[in-house]
Chain A
Amino acid sequence: MASNTESWGSRVGLVLAMAGNAVGFGNFLRFPVQAVQNGGGAFIIPYLVSFLVMGIPLLFIEWSSGRYGGKYRHHSTPFILQTMDKRWIWKYVGVFGIFSNIAIAAYYCYMESWTMSYIIHSVIGTFDGMSQGAVAGFFTNYLDVNTSTTGIPYEALVFFVLCIALNTWILSRGISSGIEKVAKIGVPLLIVFGIFLAVKGITLKAGHNGAVNDGTVGLNFLWTPDFSSLANPKVWLAAAGQIFFTLSVGMGSIQCYASYLKKKDDVALNAMSAGWMNEFVEIVLGSAIIIPIAIGYLGIDKVVELTNIGGLGLGFRTMPYLFEQWGPILSAVAGTAFFGLLFFAGITSSLAMGTPGMGFMMDEFKWTRKKSAVAFGVVVMLLGLPTIFFFSQGVFDEYDYWAGTISLVVFALLESILFAWIFGMKKGWREITSGADIKVPLFYRFVIKYITPVALLLVFFGALIRPVNDDWSQLSLRGWKLHNESIIGQLQHKGLGPNTHWFSNSFYAEASGVVDSVYRTGSKHFIRTSAVDSKGQLKSRVYQYEPLKHQLVVEENDVVMAGQAVYTGNVVNRVFYLDMARLLLLSVFLLISLLVYFAWNKRRREGRIRR
């Protein structure tokens, strides 16, 4: 029988592991894109305000409630929350703290596996001599599990399994011998890689190696403040959202790491140190890599266009091509450094995602660490497979939306209410300041009680009723058009157009336009329609079809209207995959809830619960 009596090896190791948990892909890929899209340098003002009134308080709440639960030998949120209030509901609220980790790990490990593969491709020179389009196409092919970019069959799957195996092995070695050792190597290395790339980015010179701009042009673009954006609620919500995701709060992994601390040990200084380390990586390093380098070679207009497809696209579709401009040796070094830093940022986060679920099984069902780690690996692999096989159908994004975005906001909101209003600020403040190695400013008592829950409520309602085009001025009692990515919009499958049935005999055009291309890439067949939007920009839609199953009813140069049939045959619509993904996530949540219920009954039978 196992008992979960592990501990951290050293305080520095704990802080680096917590910082590693927070530092992830978002620091390098999401933050700069958010800054570009939300007022450049002015974005940093709401961003830092959000860090002070939402980020730091949540860090204090999670660190101190984790240590509080650890006193009772709980290492996962269901029973950590239950120790803070005896009402039955809290252990089920705590399910979020296991669920989101497992569900996020399922697609996060997939992204992590891309970095492993890209390190190898950078070293062996796969991208040598490739055009920008070819590098972008390489990523598209990589994501198509049937296409091999190296001759390894099912390459994406192979790297995914390798990545999970590596995570499982490290987790099975325990807190101090596994997670902490990786953090002590990974975090300093990613900072070194980041500094190297940032220096390269900032010192780019126009005219050298094909650069069209100095590196400082990108910095100028990123940091020039547009103060008018401060009046836009969209910017504030984007900043609050970025703070939220960058700190890995609302997940339950911070509570789990902190639960291995003893009552008299500090949480306040540790939380501040890990939190600010994440901010250093995000603001100082994250802003100095992809945007300056990309603008240096591609110019501002092209980069603005690329940021619309998100940081992931910029990182994996574009960066290898840009590194190639530095010559074969330096491009291999830069590629290894860039994808290496993403890999270390990823693995230190995915390891943190493994610990709450493992801690729960070890605490409640006396599983060994090894058995728990293997179970985590198997579950994550099974849950991750749909994101690989149905990536193009949107399953990956669906996981990210519900598990990686909405669950975190809901959990953080509920835990902040529990901490400040039910557990109470008197006890809460005592937990934060007990053993503290710094003096925590007293105003945080007020902030945690009033400001943080309200800020989280605003973030939640902002996500719930987000208006189309993020135009908050259209809100009125008579209603408004919802954004496709609002929670209600997602529930209603807004944005999927007329293809609202799981199965149908026809596939209908999602938007009006002209069929400008019917083409084939590899074994896949596509139809592209294009139309000029209200801003004068050409917008294209690409629909995939299978010639053996479908018959085209349009041809090149035809004008199609939204809702008009494009091809007929047996059609399985995207909505089917999205609903299946939701059902799968819901099943995982319910299954964990059931385990929590069994664990609670087991505790009751063993007389470990006072009723």
Chain B
Amino acid sequence: MNTPALIMMVTVEVIVTLLTGWFFYKVLTIKPKQEPDSFSENDDVVR
């Protein structure tokens, strides 16, 4: 690959991958809000 193409590809793909990973990591790790929240799987009582 030529240098400009390689720089463009690597820069863009690294930034996009890191941001995707970072936001999804936050989604996975942020503490759930106090009940009642929007999600049924973490409810104490089955609806």
Does B27 make an interface contact (CB < 8 A)?
A: yes
Please determine whether A279 and B16 come into contact, CB atoms closer than 8 angstroms: yes
Given contacts A15-B24, A48-B12, contact A219 B41 (CB under 8 A): no
- What residues of B have a CB within 8 angstroms of the CB of A219 in the complex? 1, 5, 9
Complex interface residues of chain B between 1 and 47 (CB less than 8 A to chain A): 1-2, 4-6, 8-9, 12-13, 16-17, 19-20, 23-24, 26-28, 30, 32-33, 36-42
Please determine whether A7 and B40 come into contact, CB atoms closer than 8 angstroms: yes
Does A224 make an interface contact (CB < 8 A)?
A: yes
Can you name the residue of chain B whose Cβ is closest to the Cβ of A175? B40
- What residues of A have a CB within 8 angstroms of the CB of B33 in the complex? 264-266, 435
Report how far A262 CA is from B39 CA in the complex, Å. Answer: 9
Given contacts A270-B27, A276-B23, A437-B30, contact A262 B37 (CB under 8 A): yes
Please determine whether A220 and B39 come into contact, CB atoms closer than 8 angstroms: no
- What residues of A have a CB within 8 angstroms of the CB of B27 in the complex? 11-12, 15, 269-270, 273
User: Can you list, as one digit per residue, whether each of A188-226 has a CB less than 8 Å from chain B (1) or not (0)?
Assistant: 000000000000000000000000000010011011110
Please determine whether B5 and A10 come into contact, CB atoms closer than 8 angstroms: no
> A41 contacts which of B9, B39, B42 (Cβ < 8 Å)?
B9
Report how far A57 CA is from B6 CA in the complex, Å. Answer: 30
Please determine whether B23 and A272 come into contact, CB atoms closer than 8 angstroms: yes
Report how far A260 CA is from B27 CA in the complex, Å. Answer: 17
User: Can you list, as one digit per residue, whether each of A2-27 has a CB less than 8 Å from chain B (1) or not (0)?
Assistant: 00000111111111000000000000
Does A283 make an interface contact (CB < 8 A)?
A: yes
Report B31 CB to chain A, min CB distance, Å. Answer: 9
Report B7 CB to chain A, min CB distance, Å. Answer: 9
CB-defined A-B contacts under 8 Å, sample of 17: A7-B39, A9-B40, A10-B41, A13-B41, A14-B38, A15-B27, A41-B4, A48-B12, A224-B2, A260-B38, A265-B38, A273-B23, A276-B23, A280-B20, A283-B12, A284-B13, A287-B9
Interface residues of chain A, those whose CB is within 8 Å of chain B, are 7-15, 40-41, 44, 48, 176, 216, 219-220, 222-225, 260-262, 264-266, 269-270, 272-273, 276-277, 279-280, 283-284, 287, 435, 437-438
3 nearest A-B pairs in the assembled complex, by CB-CB distance: A273-B23, A223-B5, A41-B8
